[in-house]
A and B are shown apart, each in its own frame.
Chain A
Amino acid sequence: MDFLLIFGIYPYFYTMETFSHGKVKKLERQHMPEVSKQTGFPSPATHYMEPKISLEQELITNNDATFYVRIDSNALQEFTIFKNDVLIIDRSFYPKKNSLAMVVIDGEFKVIKIELEAKEKEFTLWGVITYIIHACK
C-alpha cells in the first residue's frame, strides 16, 4: 500500500509535517472523492466522505504524556499482559481503583493493579496503562 502511495496511485492526500527536531506527525489522511474518468460523474459517496479511523486518534488522549513500553516477560499474565505486548501508558491519567499502572518501587519499574484502600508497598506512580497491544501472529 505504501509502495503505491509513493507513486501517487493511492487515492489519498497524504500530508506530513516535519518538526525542527525531526519528529514527524502525520497530520491527516483525507479521503479524496473519486470521479469517473469515463463520464465525469462524481461518485455518489462524494458528500459522505470521512477520514478513515485512526488508531492514534482513538487510543491516545494526550500525545505529550504518552509513552510505549514493551514487556519482555511472562510474569504479568494475571493482568492479561503477555510477553512482547506493548503497553500504552498515559501519564496524564490519574489512577482509579483497579487501574493498571506502571510504578517505580526501589528504583525498579513494576506493573501493578492500583488498590486505593489497601496499604501497599510504597511506590511512585510512573503512568497509568490505558491499552495493551497484543499481537496474535
Chain B
Amino acid sequence: MIALVDCNSFYASCELVFRPDLVGRPVVVLSNNDGCVIAANKEAKALADIPMFEPVFKIKKQLIANNVVFFSSNYTLYGEMSQRVVNILKTFSSKVEVYSIDESFIDLSTVPHEELEAFGHQIKNTIYRLTGLPVGVGIAKTKVLSKLANKMSKKIPNKNHVCVINSDDDRVKALKWSPVTGVWGIGKKHSERVIAIGVATAYDFTQLPMAWVRKEMTVVGERTWRELRGESVMEFITEPKKKKAIGTAKSFGKKLESLDIIEEACSYYVGEVAEVLRAQNSCASAIHIFLVTNFFSTKDKQYSNSITVKLAMPTNDTFILVTEAKKALHLIYKEGYKYKKVGVNLLGITPEEYVQGNLFKIPTESKKTLTKVVDELNVKFGKLKVSSALVGTRVKEWELIKEERSPRYTTQWKEILTLKDT
C-alpha cells in the first residue's frame, strides 16, 4: 500500500505555527514580488470573493476589507519546514518519494492491512506534534488511488484527515464519489473530452475500454486508468533526478532601464543557479538569457528578447558563467525600455566528471578551490555575501520587494521567534 501525505494549506500553515494569534483568521501568501495570491488557508478559501492567482493590486482592497492577513512568500521557512516533515516521514517508512514541497508518497507495504488506518493517524498526529503542521493522509493500493484517498480525507468530514481505500468495495465507492475532473493525471482537456462522451465520475472512466483510453489519451491516460483500477504501474522514485536545466527568473522590485543594473541582477541570478549546479556536481554547456518588459502595462513600450550561447566548454564556474551571461545580455538589451524581468537558464547539464578538457582551455585546480571557498563562505555568512565583483552591490535596487515576509524563524539566529511580553 502507498500513502500520500500532504500538508494542508502548507505555506499558510507554516506561518501560523509561529503566529497563533492569527489562527482562525483568513491568511493568504503572495507570490514572489507580491504579484498574486498563491496560497490560502481554509478561512481565506471560504471567502468566495478572493480569487487565487489574481494580481494582488486588483484585490488588495477586498483583502483588507475582509480582514485578510497577507504574507510575502518566505520560501526559506517553507523549505526548511518541508524538510522536517520529510525527515519525520522517513522514520515511518524506508521508501519516501518527495513529490512536491508539501506532498510525499510513502511506501507502506510492510504495514498489515487492518492497521493502516491507525498508522495513518499516527503519521498525522506525529507530524502535527513535532512540527505544528496539519497534514492529510490518503492510503491506497496505487499512487493515483492514494491521491484520491487523500482528497477524500479532506473533503469528507468524518474521515478526520485520514482515509484508507482498503478493499475493492472501498475503491469502487471512492471512484463513484470522485468526479472525473478531480482525478490526478487527467487534465482539463482530457476531462472535457471524456465528459463529452458521457463520463462523469472516475468510476465511469475506469469502465471505458482500455484501447480507447490508450488511443485517445496516450500511455499517460492508460497509466491513470490502470492505477484507478488498482493496478500499480507508477513506480517509486526515491532518487532525485538530476536536473536537465536549471533556471531562475524573477520580476524586479521596480522597473529597470539601465543596462548596468540589469547586468547586476542577471549576474546575481547566474550566481544562484551556478551554486545549484555545483551542489549537484554538474556543468552547463549553454546559457540562455531572456529579458522582458511588463506586458500588463498599457502605457509602456513593449520589448522582449532571448538568446542562447554555447560555452567553449561545459563549466560550473560562476566567474566564467557571469562573463558569458553579460556578453549575451549586451546582445539583447535595447535602450529606452522599462524592463520587468531578466531570466537565466543553464542548459545542457552534464555531470562534472564527463566534461572533456579542451586543448585551449584547461580547467585549473586553483579556480576550483576558489569557487569552493566562495561557496562555503556563502553558506556560512548568508546568501551571496561573497561573489564576483561583476555581480555588483546594488542588490537592493532590483531585488524583490518583500515587505510582508515573515522572519526566517528556523534558519537565521537573528530572526528566531521572539516573545516580548509573556
> Which residues of A pack against B, CB within 8 Å?
2, 6, 16, 18-24, 62-65, 67-73, 75-76, 86, 91-92, 104, 107-111, 124, 126
Q: Give the residues in chain B near A62, CB-CB below 8 Å.
A: 130
A92 touches B129 (CB 8 A): yes
Cβ-based interface call for B83 (8 A):
yes
Contact assessment for A73 and B83 in the assembled complex, using a CB-CB cutoff below 8 Å: no
| B83 adjacent to A72 (CB under 8 Å) | no
B419 contact from A23, A70, A124, Cβ within 8 A = A70
Pick from A21, A24, A67, A73: contact of B421, CB below 8 A.
A73
CB of B76 closer than 8 Å to a CB of A: yes
CB <8 Å contact, A24 and B379: yes
Could you tell me the distance between the alpha carbons of A72 and B422 in the complex, rounded to whole angstroms?
A: 9
Give the chain B neighbours of A108 by CB distance below 8 A. Answer: 20-21
Most chain B CB atoms below 10 A, which of A6, A22, A104, A110 = A22
**Within 8 Å CB of B23, what residues of A?**
107
Residues in B neighbouring A71, C-beta threshold 8 A: 418-419, 422
**How far, in angstroms, from A108 to B23 measured CA to CA in the complex?**
10
**Which residues from A are CB-within-8-Å of B376?**
6, 16
Are B132 and A91 neighbours in the complex by a CB distance under 8 Å?
Answer: yes
| Contact (Cβ within 8 A) B80 A23 | yes
For B421, list chain A residues within 8 Å (CB).
73, 75
Other-chain residue from B88, B131, B411, B419 in contact with A69 (beta carbon distance below 8 A): B419
B interface residue numbers (CB < 8 A to A): 20-23, 75-76, 79-80, 82-84, 87-88, 129-132, 240, 279, 373, 376-377, 379-380, 383, 409-411, 413, 416-422
A14–chain B nearest beta-carbon distance, Å: 8
Given contacts A21-B82, A68-B417, 9 further A-B contacts (CB under 8 A): A21-B75, A21-B79, A64-B88, A65-B84, A70-B416, A72-B420, A75-B421, A107-B23, A110-B422
Give the distance in Å from the alpha carbon of A22 to the alpha carbon of B292 in the complex: 28
Chain B interface mostly helix, strand, loop or mixed? helix
Q: Determine the distance from Cα of A86 to Cα of B409 in the docked complex, in whole angstroms.
A: 13
A112 and chain B: residue at smallest CB distance: B422
Chain A hits for B383, CB < 8 A? 22
Task: Known A18-B279, A107-B20, A108-B21; judge A6-B373 contact (CB<8 A).
Answer: yes
CB distance from B417 to the nearest CB of A (A): 5
Minimum CB distance partner of B85 in chain A: A64
User: What are some 24 contacts across the A-B interface (CB < 8 A)?
Assistant: A6-B376, A6-B377, A16-B376, A16-B379, A18-B279, A21-B76, A22-B76, A23-B79, A23-B411, A24-B379, A64-B84, A64-B131, A65-B130, A67-B410, A67-B417, A68-B413, A69-B417, A73-B420, A75-B421, A91-B130, A108-B21, A109-B20, A126-B20, A126-B132
Question: How far is A87 from B75 in the complex, measured between Cα atoms in Å?
Answer: 24
A69 touches B130 (CB 8 A): no
Instruction: Please give the distance in Å from B67's CB to the nearest CB on chain A.
Output: 15
**Complex interface: chain A residues within 8 A of B409 (CB):** 67
Name the A residues within 8 Å of B419 (CB-CB).
69-73, 109, 111
Beyond A69-B417, A69-B419, A76-B422, is A64–B20 a contact (Cβ under 8 Å)?
Answer: no
Q: How far is the CA of A64 from the CA of B22 in the complex (A)?
A: 24
Interchain CB contact (< 8 A) of B21 among A21, A91, A107: A107
Q: Which of B20, B83, B131, B132 contacts A19 (CB 8 A)?
A: B83
The 8 closest A-B pairs by CB, nearest first: A21-B79, A65-B130, A64-B84, A107-B21, A104-B20, A70-B418, A68-B416, A64-B87
The chain A residue with its CB closest to the CB of B21 is: A107
Residue of A nearest to B279 (CB): A18
Q: Are A22 and B79 in contact (CB under 8 A)?
A: yes
Shortest Cβ distance from residue A113 to the other chain B in the assembled complex, whole angstroms: 13
* Docked pose: A75 CA to B419 CA in angstroms: 11
**B83, A21: Cβ atoms under 8 Å?**
yes
The smallest beta-carbon distance between A15 and chain B, in angstroms, is 11
CA distance A18 to B280 in the complex (A): 10
Bound CA span A86–B82, Å:
24
Partner of B418, one of A20, A65, A69, A107: A69
Please give, as numbers and ranges, the residues of chain B lying within 8 Å of A124 by CB-CB distance: 20
Within the complex, the shortest CB–CB distance from A89 to chain B, in Å, comes to 9
Interfacial chain B residues near A126, Cβ < 8 Å: 20, 132
